Structure 1
Amino acid sequence: MERHFVWVTTRRIKPGTLEEFERAWRPGFSPDGLRRALAYWSEDGQEITGVSFWDSQEACDAWRSSDAERERREVMAPYVVQETEGFYRGGELSLPAR
């Protein structure tokens, strides 16, 4: 199994603020060590889950503690009601044939 280092963040945002939140949420550049980033929205547009794949936990931690990430979080803060996050290791599961 190919090993992945993944940071998952889920945020509940204030109703009607998805467009503003999206502008604040996207970083202006790709951080070092970031391989891929995905985003998923709930049907009502009030919950967003971001999944980012990193070269290592150290690369992710460096971004999370950077001034650029701190500033990005400050810009997002007016729209966020609740936030949870976690760092995980794992890989893609192979599915049995049908």
Structure 2
Amino acid sequence: MNMISYWKGYEEIHTDDGMVLIIGWYDHKNQHNGGNKALGVHWGDYPQSRGVLSPCVIPEATRSAILSGLLHQAVSSTNLQQVESITKAISFFHSHT
């Protein structure tokens, strides 16, 4: 399924029972010169807009809580692949590019 054009340079960072978290640049209605860094969520091919996958943007405070919780879960379960993926997402939001 195609991703809505508002999401640019996105990457899946976590999947849990059909829920998919992505990171990337979100540019609402392509009006903000490339957009802002964002965490998004979708479930398979939901939600859609006119047959195009349209992940929801997670607010910044909630984004931090989700990533923190996922990192704790990954460390507690010694899931090194998940630790790497969540750490990459956290670094994405803290980098200046």
TM-score by length of 1: 0.30
Which structure has the greater CA radius of gyration?
1
Task: Identify which of structures 1 and 2 has the higher relative contact order when contacts are C-alpha pairs closer than 8 Å and 6+ apart.
Answer: 1
TM-score by length of 2: 0.30
